Amino acid sequence: MVEEQRRRVENKMTNMIEDIDKAYLRRMQGDMHRCAARCCDNETYSMQKVHNCVENCSAPLNKAQNYVQGELERVQTRLQRCVMECNDSIRDQMSPNPTQDEVNKFSDSFEKCATKCVDVYCDLLPSLEKTMKKMLAGSKFEQ
C-alpha cells in the first residue's frame, strides 16, 4: 500500500514537471542557448564580456528553475510533515509492548492516515501547477 502511494505521488509529480518543462522551461532553455550563441558570435566582445553576456543569458532560466524547485520542495516537505504526524499519532497510541493484533491495527491506521496525506497532496498539485505556470508566464523570468 505504501509503495502504491509513493508511485502515485511520483507519477503525479513527473507529469506536472514534464508539463511545465514542455510549456515553459524548454522554450527558455532554447532562448538561453540562442542568446549565448549570439554572445559567442560577437567578435568585438572581450573574453570577459562574452562570459558576462552568457551568464546574463542563463539568468532567467536559472531563476525559473530555482523557483520551480523551491515550490516542489515546499509541497514535498508538507507531505512529509503530514506523514510524520501520522507516524507520531500512531506512536502516541501504542503501548510499550504492543501485541501483534495491535501492531496490525496501528499499521492499518497509519496507512489510512498516510493515504489521506497523499490524497491531499495530489489534490494540491493541479493548483500548484496552475500557479507555477502563471508565474513562469509572467515577465519575472524574462531576459
Which helix (H) or strand (E) segment is 103 a member of?
helix 100-137
Instruction: Give residue 88's pLDDT.
Output: 95
DSSP, collapsed to helix, strand or coil, labels residue 1 as coil
Cα–Cα dist 51/93, whole Å: 60
Q: What is the pLDDT of residues 128-139, one digit of tens each?
A: 999 999 999 987
Q: How confident is the model at residue 127 (pLDDT cuts 50, 70, 90)?
A: very high
Q: Which DSSP letter does residue 96 get?
A: S
State the CB neighbour count (10 A cutoff) for residue 83. Answer: 19
Is residue 104 classed as helix, strand or coil in its secondary structure? helix
Contacts of 65 (CB under 8 A, 6+ apart): 25
Cα distance between residue 19 and residue 129, in whole Å:
9
How far is CA 26 from its chain centroid? 17
Report, as an integer, the average pLDDT of 18-29: 95
Count of structural domains, the chain: 1
Label residue 94 by pLDDT band (50, 70, 90). Answer: confident
pLDDT band, very low/low/confident/very high, at 102 (cuts 50, 70, 90)? confident
**Domain housing 112:** 2-141
Query: What is the model's pLDDT at position 130?
Result: 95
Buried b (16+ CB within 10 A) or exposed e, 94-109: eeeeeeeeeeeebeee
Helical packing angle, 100-137 and 47-93, nearest 10°: 150
Where residue 77 falls among pLDDT bands split at 50, 70, 90? very high
pLDDT band at 143 (very low <50, low <70, confident <90, very high): low
User: pTM of the full predicted structure?
Assistant: 0.83
Over residues 44-72, the pLDDT tens digits come to 999 999 999 999 999 999 999 999 999 99
- The average pLDDT across 20-49 equals 96
